Amino acid sequence: MKTLKKKMIRLVVVTSLLTAVIACSPSNDDSASNDASAQQTAAIARTGTWEITYFYDTDQEETGNFSGYSFSFNENGSLVAVNGSTTVTGTWSVTNSSNSSDDDGSDDDDDDFNIFFASPREFEELSDDWDIISVTQTKIELIDVSGGNGGTDYLTFEKQ
């Protein structure tokens, strides 16, 4: 009977310790909320058409390079910029960067707003994994700190 009592006490102690360890270990709730945040940002981007109202590339403002273009972030991942009869196509996505390295050295719970254009040169400058500064229903503000030269780029889309 005494041996059974000792075994029961050990079982209770081990169970209590395991419960404490599990309760104190980090959860995956943050990545779930980050995924939801990335999905919300993507949903906002997909609504309507957007224009670039500010683009600062390292040491100069280049917003004028995109004057008159309407940008559509499509559900299939295509990004289309139209200005009259000129159409430029690329790709886009919003991803949770908590599992990858962040080039700006900030907290790794950020989402990345990824843009890729193969050409023309002005649009190639938009190609990057931008960090999101803020997102509203009518404005998306992005930043990128270059790992090579340390320059900082800013990009702002506003709904038309």
In a domain, 25, yes or no: no
Calculate the alpha carbon distances from 110 to 40, 66, 92, 116 in Å. Answer: 13, 27, 17, 19
Q: Domain range spanning residue 152?
A: 30-159
Select from 107, 137, 106, 126 the least CA-distant residue to 40: 137
In a domain, 116, yes or no: yes
pLDDT tens by residue, 16-57: 444 443 344 444 444 444 456 999 999 999 999 999 999 999
**Structural domain count of the chain:** 1
Neighbours of 55 (CB within 10 A): 21
pLDDT tens by residue, 87-114: 999 999 999 876 544 444 444 457 999 9
pLDDT tens by residue, 119-152: 999 999 999 999 999 999 999 999 999 877 778 9
In a domain, 7, yes or no: no
Choice between 68 and 31, residue whose per-residue pLDDT is larger: 68
> How many residues are there in the chain?
160
In a domain, 6, yes or no: no
What local confidence, expressed as pLDDT, does residue 74 receive?
98
Question: CATH number of the domain that 53 lies in?
Answer: 2.40.128
For 103-119, b/e burial (b = at least 16 CB within 10 A) is bbeeeeebbbbbbbbee
In a domain, 122, yes or no: yes
- Tell me the mean pLDDT in the region 68-91: 98
What local confidence, expressed as pLDDT, does residue 110 receive?
78
In a domain, 23, yes or no: no
pTM surpassing 0.75? Answer: no
In a domain, 79, yes or no: yes
